[in-house]
């Protein structure tokens, strides 16, 4: 009689592999939407956190990757940053972190497990869909804009008098005082989509 060995689960997804597969999947999903833009490493709050992958179209959608080889050390700060600006957030996570991550993230975040199949390819399994964020922060949303973008918006609203030579913080304060969160979010989405580069700081 032979003793049967217990097989240890193999957690070995890598960030760059998940990212490549995720971007390909999103490109396929949005190929018929001419208004969408996929941005990697979208800086939030002056770059204090960066969203791994953001999709900008009618909403701002965030995908945060935590591979099996990552840690969750930065996740609390990322949660605060993403909650402030994104309409929806999905955590794309390896099996190694799924249970701990579920205890950390808000209930409205979506969860997708990333795993490798027998061919070594990344496959995704949706655990729950993301729901709408109802508590965005205008100040943080405004800081997604470049200084000249914020000034141009104020010019269009005839609200730029007295702030043109001021620091960015003053310009953002003026912007949030004249726009509600939905109008500001709409204008920021337009600005991000019109930028010629993917990496936004």
CATH number at residue 112: 3.40.1350
Domain that holds residue 43: 15-128
Q: Give the pLDDT score at 127.
A: 96
Q: Is the residue at 6 inside a domain?
A: no
Domain match, 37 and 106 both: yes
Q: Is the residue at 8 inside a domain?
A: no
Looking at the DSSP assignment, which residues form a beta bridge with residue 37? Answer: 56
Q: Is the residue at 99 inside a domain?
A: yes
Domain match, 69 and 123 both: yes
Domain match, 36 and 107 both: yes
Question: Measured on CA atoms in the order 29, 95, 133, 153, is the torsion positive or negative?
Answer: negative
The answer, yes or no, to whether residue 168 has pLDDT greater than 90, is yes
pLDDT in tens, 89-127: 999 999 999 999 999 999 999 999 999 988 888 999 999
Q: Give the pLDDT score at 117.
A: 86
- The whole-chain average pLDDT of the chain stands at 91
Please state, as a whole number, how many other Cβ atoms lie within 10 Å of the Cβ of residue 67.
Answer: 21
Per-residue pLDDT band at 195 (split at 50, 70, 90): confident
Q: Is the residue at 38 inside a domain?
A: yes
When divided into structural domains, the chain yields a total of 2
Domain match, 33 and 51 both: yes
Q: Distances from the Cα of 196 to the Cαs of 62, 75, 100, 168, 200, in angstroms?
A: 20, 29, 38, 22, 10
pLDDT > 90 in the chain, percent: 84
Question: From CA 110, how far away is CA 125, in angstroms rounded?
Answer: 11
pLDDT > 70 in the chain, percent: 92
Which of residues 99, 128, 157 is at a domain's end? 128
Which of residues 128, 154, 174 is at a domain's end? 128
Averaged pLDDT for residues 47-53: 95
Domain match, 92 and 148 both: no
The answer, yes or no, to whether residue 4 has pLDDT greater than 50, is no
Q: Give the pLDDT score at 120.
A: 83
Domain match, 60 and 147 both: no
Domain match, 73 and 114 both: yes
Domain match, 77 and 174 both: no
Outline where the chain has alpha helix (H).
Answer: 15-29, 75-85, 98-104, 138-142, 147-156, 168-178, 181-194
Averaged pLDDT for residues 52-77: 96
Domain match, 101 and 183 both: no
Domain match, 122 and 174 both: no
């Amino acid at each position: 009689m032979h003793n049967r060995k217990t097989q240890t689960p193999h957690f070995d997804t890598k960030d760059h592999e998940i990212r490549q597969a995720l971007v390909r999947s999103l490109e396929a999903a949005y190929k018929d939407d001419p208004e969408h833009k996929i941005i990697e490493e979208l800086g939030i709050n002056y770059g204090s956190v960066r969203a791994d992958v953001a999709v900008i179209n009618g909403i701002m959608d965030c995908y945060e990757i935590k591979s099996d080889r990552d840690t969750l050390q930065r996740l609390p700060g990322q949660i605060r940053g993403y909650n402030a600006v994104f309409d929806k957030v999905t955590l794309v996570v390896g099996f190694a972190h799924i249970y701990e991550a579920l205890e950390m993230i808000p209930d409205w975040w979506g969860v997708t497990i990333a795993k490798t199949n027998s061919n070594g390819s990344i496959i995704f399994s949706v655990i729950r869909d993301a729901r709408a964020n109802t508590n965005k922060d205008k100040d943080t949303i405004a800081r997604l804009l470049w200084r000249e973008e914020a000034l141009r918006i104020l010019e269009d609203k005839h609200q730029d008098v007295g702030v043109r030579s001021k620091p960015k913080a003053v310009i953002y304060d003026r912007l949030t005082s004249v726009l509600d969160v939905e109008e500001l979010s709409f204008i920021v989405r337009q600005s991000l989509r019109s930028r010629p580069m993917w990496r936004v700081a």
